[in-house]
A and B are shown apart, each in its own frame.
Chain A
Amino acid sequence: MSQHLKIEQQAAAWLARKDGEGWSADEQTRLDQWLALSTAHRVAYLRLAAAWSKAGSLAPGASTPSSPPAPPEPAPAAMERRTLPRFSQWRIAAALLVTVGAAAGLLAVRDNLSEVRYETRLGAHQTHALKDGSKLTLNTATLLRARVSQGGRTVWLDRGEAYFDVAHDAAHPFVVIAGANRITVLGTRFTVRREAGGTNVVVVDGRVQVENRQASSQPPVVLVKHQKVVATPATMLKSDESDASIEKMLSWREGKLIFDQVTLGYAASEFNRYNKKKLVLADAEAARMQISGRFDAGNVTGFASLLQRGFGLDVRETGDTIAIASHKPGRAP
Chain B
Amino acid sequence: MSPELHEALDNWFVQAVLPLEPMLTAFLRRHCRETHDIVDLRQDVYVRVYEAAETGLPDNPKAFVFAVARNLLVDRARHQQVAAIVALAPSGELPDHVDELCPERHAMGRQDIACLEQAFSDLPPKCREVVELRKIAGLSQRDVATRLGVTEGTVEKQIAKGIRFLAAALGAKGSKVKTISEPEVA
Contact = CB atoms under 8 A, between A and B. Distances in A.
Same complex for A and B? Answer yes
Interface of A: 2-5, 7-9, 12-13, 15-17, 19-21, 38-40, 42-44, 46-52, 54-60, 63-65, 72, 75-78, 80-81, 84-87, 97-101, 209, 219-222
B113 A63 contact: yes
A19 B157 CA distance: 11
A47 B167 contact: yes
A239 to B, nearest CB: 15
B10 A86 contact: yes
Contacts of B152: 20-21
Contacts of A50: 14, 18, 167
B107 A55 contact: no
Given A19-B141, A50-B18, A99-B143, A43 B13 contact: yes
Interface of B: 3, 6-7, 10-11, 13-15, 18, 21, 36, 39-40, 43-44, 46-47, 50-51, 106-108, 110, 112-114, 116-117, 119-120, 131, 134-143, 146, 152, 155-157, 159-161, 163-164, 166-167, 170-171, 184
Contact of A60 (B7, B107, B136): B136
A5 B184 CA distance: 8
Given A20-B152, A43-B47, A46-B10, A57 B113 contact: yes
Contacts, number: 162
A19 B134 contact: yes
A57 B166 CA distance: 13
Most buried by A among B47, B138, B139, B164: B138
Contacts of B156: 13, 16-17, 19-20
Nearest to B110: A65
B138 A4 contact: no
Nearest to B139: A100
A81 B113 contact: no
B108 A76 contact: yes
